[in-house]
Amino acid sequence: MIKNDLYLRALKGETVERPPVWMMRQAGRYLPEFIAIRDNYDFFTRCRTPELASEITVQPIRRFGMDAAILFSDILVIPQAMNIEVEMKNGVGPWLPNPIRTAKAVDEVVVPDVTVELKYVMDAIKITKQMLNDDIPLIGFAGSPWTILCYCVQGQGSKTYDIAKEFCFTQPVAAHLLLQKITDTTIAYLKEKVKAGVNAVQIFDSWGGMLSPVDYQEFSWKYINQIIEALKDDAPVIAFGKGCWFALEEMAKSNASALGVDWTITPQMARKFAGNKITLQGNFDPSRLLSPPAEIKKMVTKMINDFGKDKYIVNLGHGILPNIPLDNAKAFIDAVKEYK
C-alpha cells in the first residue's frame, strides 16, 4: 500500500483534505544535486543508467516532499527504440540527423520489442520503487504520438513544426502510418512500465497546440485516445496537451483519469470546458515561480480555491524552468501542504 495516496485519490475523484502536488520536470535542471550528476554524465547516459535515473527521480522528493515522483527519462527514448537516431546537442536540444520525411522512411521504422529495447527504463522503475519504499506513487510517462512525430519529421525542436505539419498535410497516409507505429510502441511501453511498478502514466502532448482544432482531432487526439483506451484498465492515465484548451471538452469524454492544463486558461474556464466531472491538473505559469516566495504562496492558494480542492492536482502549466530559485520551488510545494 502507498502510504501517501493523495495523488491516487485525487485521480479517482475522491474527497481529499488538500489537493496533491508535484511539478512537471521536478527531477532536473533547477536542482544543484541534479547538476552535479549532469556534469559527469551526458543526457542519454543518465536516461539509460537505471541507478542514475532512479537517483535523479528521488532527488526532489528528498528535498521538497512532493506527493508523487515522476520517473526521470525522456519522451525521445521511444523513437530511439524504433531505430530512429536521436542525439541531445548542447545549445540545440534534441537532434535527429536522419529525419523521417518519406513513405519509404516510414516503412523502415520498426515497432520494437520494448522489453528488450527499453529494459533500462523498467530497471530504473524497479530501483526507484525500492528507493521510494511505497511512501508516494511513481508516475511513468510518454510523449503523445503527434509530439514524437514532430521531432521525428522536423529533426529538431521548432517554433512552428512547419515541416512536420507539411508532411502530415501532403503525405497523410505515411503520416498516419508513422503515428500508428508510434502509438503501438507507446502502448506496449506504458503497459510494461505499469508491470514494472508505476502507479499512473501521463501522456505529454507538448506540441498539440501547434494544430488547429480540426487537425488536432485527426493527427493527435485519436492516437492519444487509443493509448488511454489500451491503458485504462491497467493504471490511471493523465492526458496533458499544452495549448490544447480548445480540446478539453472532447478530452473530458474519454476514459482518462485526469487532464493537464497549461496557464493560458483560467481554472473556471477549464472546469467549464471539461464539464466539472474529471480531475484537472495544473496550471501555474512556470515563470511565475520567479515571483517572491510570499507572492507564490498567495497565488497557489488562490489557484486551489479557483479549481476547488477536490478532483484537482496542483502542478505547473508546463515543466519547471532551470533558473528557478530553490526557495521559490519550496514555497510552491509548501503552499499546497499548508492549504486549509
Interval 223-232: pLDDT, tens: 999 999 999 9
State the catalytic residue, choosing from 18, 30, 46, 74: 74
State the catalytic residue, choosing from 38, 134, 234, 310: 38
Q: Which residues are annotated as a binding site?
A: 25-29, 44, 74, 151, 206, 318
Convert 180-199 to b/e letters by CB count within 10 Å (16 or more is b). Answer: ebbbbbbbbbbbbbbebbbb
State the catalytic residue, choosing from 9, 25, 41, 123: 25
C-beta of residue 151 within 8 angstroms of C-beta of residue 96: yes
Question: What pLDDT score does 276 carry?
Answer: 87
HSE of 210, CA atoms in CB hemisphere, 13 A: 21
Q: Which of 253, 196, 193 is nearest to 229 (CA)?
A: 253
Average pLDDT of span 177-197: 98
Question: What pLDDT score does 201 carry?
Answer: 98
76-102 pLDDT tens trace: 999 999 999 999 998 999 999 999 999
On whether residue 328 sits in a domain, the answer given is no
On whether residue 333 sits in a domain, the answer given is no
CA distance linking residue 171 with residue 217, whole number of Å: 17
98-141 pLDDT tens trace: 999 999 999 999 999 999 999 999 999 999 999 999 999 999 99
On whether residue 117 sits in a domain, the answer given is yes
On whether residue 291 sits in a domain, the answer given is no
Convert 86-101 to b/e letters by CB count within 10 Å (16 or more is b). Answer: bbeeeeeebebeebbb
C-beta of residue 334 within 8 angstroms of C-beta of residue 302: no
State the pLDDT confidence band at 10, using cuts at 50, 70 and 90: very high
CATH code at 183? 3.20.20.210
Average pLDDT of span 322-337: 98
Q: In the annotation, is 25 catalytic?
A: yes
CA distance linking residue 61 with residue 82, whole number of Å: 32
On whether residue 330 sits in a domain, the answer given is no
On whether residue 332 sits in a domain, the answer given is no
Average pLDDT of span 325-329: 98
Strand partners, 93: 89
150-174 pLDDT tens trace: 999 999 999 999 999 999 999 999 9
Average pLDDT of span 251-258: 98
- How many Cβ atoms sit within 10 Å of the Cβ of residue 75? 18
On whether residue 200 sits in a domain, the answer given is yes
Q: Work out the angle at residue 47's Cα, subtended by the Cα atoms of residues 260 and 221, and round it to the nearest 5 degrees.
A: 30
State the pLDDT confidence band at 266, using cuts at 50, 70 and 90: very high
- How many Cβ atoms sit within 10 Å of the Cβ of residue 303? 21
Q: Does 318 have pLDDT greater than 90? A: yes
Question: What pLDDT score does 37 carry?
Answer: 98
Q: Does 288 have pLDDT greater than 90? A: yes
Burial label, 123 (beta-carbon count in 10 A; 0-12, 13-18, 19+): middle
Q: Which residues are annotated as a binding site for substrate?
A: 25-29, 44, 74, 151, 206, 318
CA distance linking residue 247 with residue 271, whole number of Å: 13
Q: In the annotation, is 29 catalytic?
A: yes
52-81 pLDDT tens trace: 999 999 999 999 999 999 999 999 999 999
Place of cell 493560458: 264
Q: How far, in whole angstroms, is CA 228 from its chain's centroid?
A: 14
HSE of 166, CA atoms in CB hemisphere, 13 A: 9
Average pLDDT of span 228-243: 98
Question: What pLDDT score does 218 carry?
Answer: 98
Kindly report the pTM of this predicted structure: 0.98
Across the chain, mean pLDDT equals: 98
CA distance linking residue 115 with residue 164, whole number of Å: 29
Based on its alpha-carbon atoms, the radius of gyration of the chain, rounded to whole angstroms, reads: 19
Question: What pLDDT score does 66 carry?
Answer: 98
Structural domains of the chain, count: 1
State the pLDDT confidence band at 275, using cuts at 50, 70 and 90: very high
State the catalytic residue, choosing from 151, 161, 216, 312: 151
On whether residue 340 sits in a domain, the answer given is no
Q: In the annotation, is 151 catalytic?
A: yes
Where in the sequence is the domain holding 238, given as residue range(s)?
6-284+307-323
